Structure 1
């Protein structure tokens, strides 16, 4: 099991990336009209992507089996208007291929300059678990999931602080998640990304460390008294960590098409891995595909 001291050590990072902003009007040039200023306040970009993926699951007995399990279709939209935005995080693997759920972010830019940014974010931080659908899809019984109640996705509202230094970016999310009914919890997530251009490649090396409160871990991976079975012991989870290391690589094929590849390795603390539902201490995700920009 990975100790909490290891996760705490990994969390002590402070980093950032430069962002381009509009410069002041050059001397002698006419001032921008109100209409031009409004147009500059709005931007829109839509993308469609298809990829082949290897995506291991933390859940015991859940594995990729059919061709559909390996194919992923994503629709991503980036919209900005006067501080409000809908965006996919192109520096992160899940943001690149999962723009409509885990990677998609809706928010408002409170403050932004060349050195730091402060946003309020609404996004889905954790996917749900539907045991019945997983069993039906595999056409076989999974004892640890049989009769287990659904776990709804964890949506969260967060304050995000981002720090920019040269080709590095550091961000810190403090989020409150809402689950089923009155279930709620909080998480703290630090993310670091380092951009390296190589010929025509854009390569991002990243790492994240997330702490989930006990109510979140227990909701998704705990076992209540009425869910106990011969394959599932009673389990009440405490707070836990997830550490992630990832590489995102992008290569332009044409003006509209680009090749994209991602590798993500995730490690979980014992509050996750001690659950009767879990079979591993880590998961691996590899995705290769293309994106078309409209």
Structure 2
């Protein structure tokens, strides 16, 4: 029963925002379908496209939080709904060049400017996964002193302005994101990422890396310990700015017309400012992912 509840919670976190933004775009989608039925033009086909995918994955990787480990089968499973939809500048995209797309959901936005080799978008997306101390303690069925009594660190959703640069099979992007209006975390972050795809036989291999820089407010919300939260297991901690560096390799291989196999490895490094937090146990995290994706 407990495993079922935990799995449902994870599915809710993964799919919830994606489903909400999909519902937000339903009026535009319905209007687009009506246009397609009324006007048989090639122009519409150029301005509207969509794809829905379901991902089932098994992944392994330590949590940076102290005394939080993968122990139950539910810790290794992830079920994700991935939507790619483009209509007259509006988009929902799963960002499937990255393995984190399996667990963090979609990006929703509008293209402010698009050129042959660069673009500027405004978008909303999840930048930080967040965690619920009470749920983590319940899953282990024992106390975790460093987390006991802490409030939930909610998912870090943000509004961002993105600049992207395209070059053959590579893309470089930089996001300037504000968490103030969509998240309790407050503050801002800068996310820089580069990704390039290589083709080998039927394999699509994506190699990428990036750095995410966090403001004081973001660091304080996720990694700080306030005076009222101090215990014998948690000392006071007021962090300054910090960053996270990521390198990843992600590959897809078509099994059939509808199914494809996916695999990935991600190496994450957290700065010393994050590593010194009483809540954090390790600065280097390696994650492995194996899964299948079904295209509707």
- Alignment TM-score, normalising by the size of structure 2: 0.84
Question: 3-state SS of the aligned residue for 2:136?
Answer: helix
**Residue 290 of structure 2: aligned partner:** 288
2:69 to 53, 58, 63: 63
Q: Deviations over 1:59-116 (max 9, x none)?
A: 0010000111111111111111110011100111111x12xxx241000011112211
Distance in 2 between residues matched to 1:79 and 1:182, nearest whole Å: 28
**Residue 220 of structure 2: aligned partner:** 218
- Kept after mapping to 2: 8 A contact 1:153/1:179: no
**Residue 87 of structure 1: aligned partner:** 93
Q: Deviations over 1:238-285 (max 9, x none)?
A: 100100000010101111110001111100101111000000011121
How far 1:164 moved relative to its partner? 0.9
| Structure 2 alignment gaps of length 5 or more | 1-38
How far 1:208 moved relative to its partner? 0.8
Structure 1 residue 74 corresponds to structure 2 residue 76: no
**Residue 177 of structure 1: aligned partner:** 179
1:117 to 116, 119, 140: 119
Distance in 2 between residues matched to 1:183 and 1:135, nearest whole Å: 22
- Kept after mapping to 2: 8 A contact 1:152/1:180: no
| 1:137-152 matches, cutoff 5 A | 137-152=139-154
| 1:182-221 matches, cutoff 5 A | 183-221=185-223
Distance in 1 between residues matched to 2:49 and 2:155, nearest whole Å: 30
Q: RMSD between aligned alpha carbons?
A: 1.5
| 1:9-24 matches, cutoff 5 A | none
Question: 3-state SS of the aligned residue for 1:241?
Answer: strand
111-120 vs 36-45, which moves further: 36-45
| 1:97-136 matches, cutoff 5 A | 97-98=102-103, 102-136=104-138
Distance in 1 between residues matched to 2:128 and 2:177, nearest whole Å: 12
How far 1:37 moved relative to its partner? 1.8
Distance in 2 between residues matched to 1:269 and 1:258, nearest whole Å: 35
- Kept after mapping to 2: 8 A contact 1:50/1:74: yes
How far 1:35 moved relative to its partner? 3.9
Question: 3-state SS of the aligned residue for 2:235?
Answer: coil
Distance in 2 between residues matched to 1:44 and 1:181, nearest whole Å: 28
Distance in 2 between residues matched to 1:180 and 1:230, nearest whole Å: 33
Structure 1 residue 37 corresponds to structure 2 residue 43: yes
- Alignment TM-score, normalising by the size of structure 1: 0.84
Distance in 2 between residues matched to 1:79 and 1:166, nearest whole Å: 22
In structure 2, relative to structure 1, the CA distance for the partners of 1:182 and 1:281 (3 Å cut) is closer
Bigger fraction of residues in helix = 2
Distance in 1 between residues matched to 2:273 and 2:134, nearest whole Å: 24
- Kept after mapping to 2: 8 A contact 1:154/1:179: no
**Residue 161 of structure 1: aligned partner:** 163
**Residue 3 of structure 1: aligned partner:** none
**Residue 264 of structure 1: aligned partner:** 266
How far 1:181 moved relative to its partner? 7.8
- Kept after mapping to 2: 8 A contact 1:154/1:178: no
Distance in 2 between residues matched to 1:70 and 1:141, nearest whole Å: 21
Q: Deviations over 1:127-168 (max 9, x none)?
A: 222101000011111110011111111111111111111222
- The alignment of Structure 1 onto Structure 2 pairs a total of residues equal to 258
- Kept after mapping to 1: 8 A contact 2:158/2:182: no
